[in-house]
C-alpha cells in the first residue's frame, strides 16, 4: 500500500541534503517514507492525499514524559500561581494516588494522554516510571508503559520513597538492587532526579552505573532547580540526555557542547511555565554547539502539558530559539535524545511518522501560539488523526 501526499506547501525533512522543500510531495510505503521530492515529479501511488498547500513536518518526538500516574495536583498549581514556590515534595502526592490506582486506571490514563499527544502531532513518546517507588509499583508502571511505547525509562530514583525518608542510603540500595532487577526487563533507559532534596551526585552516579551494568542507557534530570552536578555526571557517563538544564555554569555549557554527539540537552519549557521559574537559555547552548531537544515533561506536578506546539512557542518567545531551531529540536532533537535514527526526519527509509499543519509553514507553530494547527497525522504510514 502506497500513499502519495501531494501539493505540500512546505515540507520540513530535517535531512541535511533535502532541507525544507516547497511545492513538494511525499510517498509513504508500508511504515516507511519511500520517496520525497518536487510535486511535479511525484510518482503514482495507491492512494492520493491533496495537502492543499499545507505544511508537513516529521511527527514530534517527545523524549521526556511521566505518564504513568493517577490523581491531580490542581491545588498545588493554584497555590503556586498565588506565589508559592515549586518543590519536588508534591511528587509524593502523586506517588500515593498512583499506588492506590488499579492497573486498568493507569492504563486508561496513559492511553488518554497518548491520544491527546497524537492529535497534537506527537508520534514518539518516552515514558518514565517514578510515581511508584516500591519494587512492585515501579515494575508495574514500566510494564504498563511498555504496552504503549518502546521508549521506557526506569526512574525509581525520582525521590526517596516516603518509607525510606530516614534511610536514603537503604533506598539507593533498593533502587540499585531488587528494584532494578524487577524493572530492567521493561526499561530501555535509567534516569535519576539529581537535585537538592532528591539524589546527590554520588547517589546519582551509583544509580546510573548500576543501570548501565544492566544494559540500560542513562539519562539525567539535571540542573532543574539549582546548579548541581547532574550535567557533568550525564556527560561523564555518556548519557543520552541531560534534561532540564535550567541552571548551568559556563563549564556545564562547555561540557554539553563538547558532548554534542553523545549527550543531548533536553529543555522542558512546560516546567518553567508551570512553576513560574526562569527559562533555560537555549541560545547559549546552541551558540556553544550543544545539541538541543525540546520536550513536554508531561506530568501532573511541574508541567501538565502534552503539547509540543506549546513548548515550541515558549522556546521561541522566551528561550532565544528561532522557529526553525525549535521545530527541529522538537523532532530531530528528540530523536537524538532517544538515540533513534528512524524518526525525527523525513528522508526515504525513515519511519512514516508525520504531521500536516493547517498552515503554510512550520513557523506558524510559534507564530500562532495556542492554535490547534495539526490537521492530520500519520504514524508508521497509517493515518491516525
Ligand atoms: O521533571 N523534577 C522531577 N520530576 C518532574 C516533576 C514531577 C512532579 O512534580 O510530579 C520533572 O519536572
Ligand atoms: Fe521530568
Contact between residue 310 and residue 298 where contact means Cβ atoms under 8 Å apart: no
- Torsion on CA atoms 371, 376, 381, 383, rounded to nearest 10: 130
Cell digits for 247?
Answer: 541552571
* Cα distances (Å, whole numbers) of residue 315 to 86, 252, 300, 320: 21, 20, 21, 7
ipTM of this predicted complex? 0.98
* Domains of the chain, start order: 2-58+345-383 (2.30.40.10), 60-337 (3.20.20.140)
Q: Is 252 annotated as a binding residue?
A: no
Q: Is the CB of 67 under 6 A from ligand 1?
A: no
Contact between residue 76 and residue 66 where contact means Cβ atoms under 8 Å apart: no
Q: Is 66 annotated as a binding residue?
A: yes
Q: Is 7 annotated as a binding residue?
A: no
Nearest-angstrom CA–CA distance, 66 and 313: 21
Task: Write the pLDDT tens digit of every residue in 35-59.
Answer: 999 999 999 999 999 999 999 999 9
Q: Which of 80, 98, 153, 299 to mutate to test the pocket of ligand 1 (most atoms within 8 A of CB)?
A: 299
Q: Is the CB of 88 under 6 A from ligand 1?
A: yes
* Cα distances (Å, whole numbers) of residue 133 to 92, 199, 273: 10, 14, 27
Nearest-angstrom CA–CA distance, 250 and 68: 35
> What is the average pLDDT across 141-166?
98
Query: Predicted confidence band at 17 (pLDDT cuts at 50, 70, 90)?
Result: very high
What is the distance in A from the centroid of ligand 2 to the CA of 129?
10
| Chain mean position to CA 274 | 17
> What is the average pLDDT across 53-73?
98
Task: Write the pLDDT tens digit of every residue in 300-315.
Answer: 999 999 999 999 999 9
Helix (H, G, I), strand (E, B) or coil at 142: helix
> What is the average pLDDT across 273-290?
98
Q: Is the CB of 309 under 6 A from ligand 1?
A: no
pLDDT higher than threshold 90 for residue 377:
yes
Among 94, 43, 88, residue whose Cα is nearest residue 71:
94
Helix (H, G, I), strand (E, B) or coil at 93: helix
Query: Percentage of the chain surpassing pLDDT 70?
Result: 100
Closest ligand 1 atom number to CA of residue 193: 3
Q: Is the CB of 90 under 6 A from ligand 1?
A: yes
Contact between residue 132 and residue 140 where contact means Cβ atoms under 8 Å apart: yes
Amino acid at each position: 500500500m502506497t500513499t502519495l501526499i501531494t501539493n505540500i506547501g512546505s515540507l520540513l525533512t530535517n535531512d541535511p541534503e533535502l532541507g525544507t522543500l516547497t511545492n513538494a510531495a511525499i510517498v509513504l510505503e508500508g511504515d516507511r517514507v519511500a520517496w520525497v521530492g518536487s510535486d511535479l515529479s511525484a510518482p503514482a501511488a495507491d492512494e492520493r492525499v491533496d495537502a492543499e498547500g499545507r505544511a508537513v513536518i516529521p511527527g514530534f518526538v517527545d523524549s521526556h514524559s511521566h505518564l504513568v500516574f493517577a490523581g491531580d495536583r490542581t491545588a498545588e498549581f493554584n497555590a503556586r500561581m498565588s506565589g508559592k514556590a515549586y518543590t519536588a515534595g508534591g511528587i509524593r502526592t502523586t506517588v500515593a494516588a498512583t499506588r492506590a490506582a488499579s492497573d486498568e486506571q493507569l492504563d486508561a490514563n496513559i492511553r488518554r494522554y497518548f491520544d491527546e499527544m497524537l492529535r497534537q502531532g506527537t508520534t514518539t513518546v518516552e515514558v518514565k516510571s517514578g510515581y511508584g517507588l516500591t519494587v512492585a509499583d515501579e515494575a508495574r508502571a514500566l510494564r504498563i508503559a511498555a504496552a504503549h511505547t518502546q521508549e521506557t525509562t526506569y526512574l525509581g530514583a525520582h525521590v526517596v520513597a516516603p518509607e525510606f525518608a530516614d534511610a536514603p542510603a537503604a533506598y539507593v540500595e533498593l533502587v540499585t538492587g531488587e528494584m532494578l532487577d524487577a524493572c530492567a526487563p521493561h526499561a530501555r533507559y535509567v534516569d535519576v532526579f539529581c537535585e537538592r532534596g532528591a539524589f546527590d551526585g554520588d547517589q546519582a552516579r551509583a544509580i546510573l552505573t548500576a543501570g548501565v551494568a544492566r544494559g540500560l542507557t542513562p539519562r539525567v534530570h539535571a540542573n532543574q532547580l539549582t546548579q548541581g552536578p547532574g550535567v557533568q555526571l550525564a556527560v561523564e557517563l555518556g548519557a543520552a540526555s541531560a534534561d532540564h538544564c535550567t541552571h548551568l555554569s559556563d563549564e556545564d555549557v562547555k561540557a554539553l557542547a563538547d558532548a554534542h554527539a553523545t549527550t543531548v540537552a533536553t529543555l522542558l519549557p512546560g516546567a518553567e511555565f508551570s512553576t513560574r521559574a526562569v527559562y533555560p537559555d537555549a541560545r547559549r547552548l546552541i551558540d556553544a554547539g550543544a545539541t538541543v531537544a525540546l520536550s513536554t515533561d508531561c506530568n501532573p506536578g511541574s508541567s501538565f502539558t502534552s503539547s509540543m506546539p506549546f513548548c515550541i512557542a515558549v522556546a521561541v518567545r522566551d528561550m532565544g530559539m528561532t522557529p526553525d531551531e525549535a521545530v527541529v529540536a522538537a523532532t530531530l532533537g528528540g530523536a537524538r535524545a532517544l538515540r533513534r535514527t528512524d524518526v525525527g526526519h523525513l528522508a526515504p527509509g525513515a519511519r512514516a511518522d508525520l504531521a500536516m499543519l493547517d498552515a503554510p509553514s512550520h513557523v506558524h507553530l510559534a507564530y500562532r501560539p495556542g492554535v490547534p494547527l495539526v490537521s492530520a497525522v500519520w504514524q508508521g504510514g497509517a493515518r491516525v488523526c
